[in-house]
């Protein structure tokens, strides 16, 4: 399997003394023949020294005392005694049991309610309003089936035949009625 | 040579274990309500934490804010300290996370670099020996400014890894523990940070080599 670490990473780890002896020996050999690797090793060591030399500004005793007071004035947590731990555990168990009991009660009440409530059948839709034809009295009507262009039945209507139709308008004459003369 | 090195390592490990045990005892006493115990923890770790915070922020005020907030958080969360790492590692982790959060919330602002560019020259700082002459003082001031610029140009995760290694002298494993990442990430971040710094401080490094 290929080592995921790059050759340069190994040089960096070599500077820090973090390589096992056999790997360190390989880097030793590389440094001896590769001036670039040698320069990198020297620079890494100088860099560490340089950073280490820079100490932060000194903090006065008075300031440290202020920070210490701020830090120690906050309330720290306290170690619980065995009794406290036991009590807390029992409290937790009690709360769990109480919750389970309450949930059981609720479930039982819901079941009871379901059993007691009267059951109703399925609700039927209201009947449609009676069909009324808007027709003229004393007329004759012929029912008509309405179809779409595809021949599908879409409704029913009536054909009204008003009195101007000769056949329809002809009403039977009374036998004893006198004839009209112009 | 080798046995001397091993003796030094053993002595260092012994000293670390003693410090860790003493910190653990102070934490226990602080949790039991002893007011002075946390104050003692503060005294033991404040300087190291301030140095780290200053290298993260490159600003005295911001560094002190970071120190104060770190101790406040540690104090409030003391009961959650599990002693899996040392107390100092825990403090460093809190400070590093706070620094990263602050940098993220400030992203886009150019204040930081401007402030770094006008940083107080090293020779003028209290507690430091003045440079030999005006030329040396000016050179030192220039080096400080360039170094601050170069380190400030790194993102906080890269800066943190570099500072924890170069200034605090932590091993890769300790850095991984502090920052909360893999060993390979520490190695690649450190290498990237060094390459960037080397590029930006080329002139100073060559002069240093010549001198």
User: How far apart (Å, rounded) are the C-alpha atoms in residues A31 and B34?
Assistant: 56
pTM for this one?
0.62
User: How far apart (Å, rounded) are the C-alpha atoms in residues B127 and A58?
Assistant: 6
Q: Could you tell me where the beta strands, DSSP code E, fall in chain A?
A: 140-147, 153-161
Interface of B with A in 37-96 (CB under 8 A): 38-39, 42-43, 46, 50-51, 54-55, 60, 63-64, 67-68, 71-72, 75-79
Query: A10 is written with which tokens?
Result: 């190994």
Nearest CA in chain A to B52: A56
How far is B44 from chain A, CA to nearest CA, in Å?
A: 12
| pLDDT given for residue A153 in this prediction | 79
The answer to whether residue B203 neighbours chain A at the CB level (below 8 Å) is no
Q: pLDDT (tens digit, 9 = 90+) per residue, B132-191?
A: 677 777 877 888 888 888 988 898 889 999 999 998 889 999 999 888 889 999 999 999
Q: Is the pLDDT confidence value at B116 over 60?
A: no
User: How far apart (Å, rounded) are the C-alpha atoms in residues B138 and B119?
Assistant: 13
Structural contact between residues A158 and A142, judged by C-beta atoms closer than 8 angstroms: yes
The label of the residue with tokens 């045990």 reads B21
User: How far apart (Å, rounded) are the C-alpha atoms in residues A68 and B38?
Assistant: 10
Residue B3 burial (CB count, 10 A): 7
Q: Please give the mean pLDDT across all residues of chain B.
A: 81
How far is B47 from chain A, CA to nearest CA, in Å?
A: 9
| Closest Cβ opposite residue A12 in set B51, B60, B194 | B194
Residues 6 or more apart from A107 whose CB is under 8 A from it?
none
In three-state secondary structure terms, A176 is coil
Q: pLDDT (tens digit, 9 = 90+) per residue, B169-178?
A: 899 999 998 8
Structural contact between residues A132 and A156, judged by C-beta atoms closer than 8 angstroms: no
Interface of A with B in 80-99 (CB under 8 A): none
Residue count (chain B):
211
**How far does Cα B14 stand from its chain's mean position?**
23
Chain B neighbors of A23, CB-CB under 8 A: none
Is B97 exposed, middle or buried, given 0-12, 13-18 or 19+ CB atoms closer than 10 A? middle
Q: Which of B207, B123, B198 is nearest to B166 (CA)?
A: B198
The pLDDT profile of chain A, 182 residues, written as one tens digit per residue, is 455 567 788 888 999 999 999 999 999 999 999 998 899 999 999 888 888 888 889 999 999 999 999 988 876 666 555 666 677 778 888 888 888 999 999 999 988 888 887 776 677 778 777 666 565 555 666 777 778 888 887 777 776 665 555 554 454 544 454 554 54
Interface of A with B in 121-160 (CB under 8 A): none
| Closest Cβ opposite residue B60 in set A57, A64, A72 | A57
Structural contact between residues B145 and B117, judged by C-beta atoms closer than 8 angstroms: yes
Chain B neighbors of A35, CB-CB under 8 A: none
Residue B122 burial (CB count, 10 A): 22
Query: A83 is written with which tokens?
Result: 């009794």
Residue A58 burial (CB count, 10 A): 13
Domain map of chain A by residue range?
Answer: 7-53, 84-115, 141-170
């Amino acid at each position: 399997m290929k080592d995921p670490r790059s050759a340069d990473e190994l040089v960096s780890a070599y500077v820090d003394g973090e390589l096992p002896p056999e790997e360190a020996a390989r880097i030793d050999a590389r440094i001896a023949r590769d001036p670039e690797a040698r320069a990198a090793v020297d620079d890494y060591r100088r860099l560490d020294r340089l950073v280490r030399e820079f100490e932060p500004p000194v903090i006065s005793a008075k300031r440290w005392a202020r920070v210490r007071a701020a830090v120690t004035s906050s309330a720290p947590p306290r170690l619980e005694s065995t009794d406290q731990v036991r009590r807390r555990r029992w409290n937790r168990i009690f709360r769990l049991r109480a919750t389970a009991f309450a949930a059981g009660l609720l479930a039982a009440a819901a079941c009871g309610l379901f059993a007691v409530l009267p059951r109703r059948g399925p609700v039927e839709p209201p009947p449609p309003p009676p069909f009324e034809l808007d027709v003229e009295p004393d007329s004759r009507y012929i029912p008509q089936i309405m179809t779409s262009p595809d021949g599908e039945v879409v409704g029913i209507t009536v054909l009204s035949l008003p009195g101007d139709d000769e056949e329809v308008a002809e009403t039977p004459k009374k036998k004893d009625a006198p004839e009209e003369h112009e | 040579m080798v046995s001397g090195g091993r003796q030094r390592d053993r002595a260092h490990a012994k000293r670390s274990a003693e410090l860790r045990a003493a910190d653990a005892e102070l934490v226990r006493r602080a949790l039991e309500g002893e007011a002075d115990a946390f104050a003692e923890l503060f005294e033991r770790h404040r300087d190291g934490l301030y140095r780290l915070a200053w290298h993260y922020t490159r600003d005295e005020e911001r560094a002190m804010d970071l120190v104060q907030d770190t101790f406040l958080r540690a104090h409030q969360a003391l009961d959650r300290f599990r002693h899996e790492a040392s107390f100092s590692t825990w403090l460093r982790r809190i400070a590093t996370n706070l620094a990263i959060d602050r940098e993220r919330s400030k992203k886009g602002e150019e204040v930081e670099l401007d402030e770094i560019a006008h940083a107080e020259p090293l020779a003028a700082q209290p507690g430091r020996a003045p440079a030999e002459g005006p030329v040396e003082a000016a050179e030192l001031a220039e080096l400080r400014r360039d170094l601050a610029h170069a380190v400030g140009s790194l993102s906080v995760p890269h800066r943190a890894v570099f500072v924890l290694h170069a200034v605090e002298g932590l091993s890769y494993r300790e850095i991984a523990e502090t920052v909360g990442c893999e060993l390979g990430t520490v190695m690649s971040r450190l290498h990237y940070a060094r390459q960037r710094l080397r590029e930006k401080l080329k002139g100073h490094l060559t002069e240093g080599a010549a001198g």
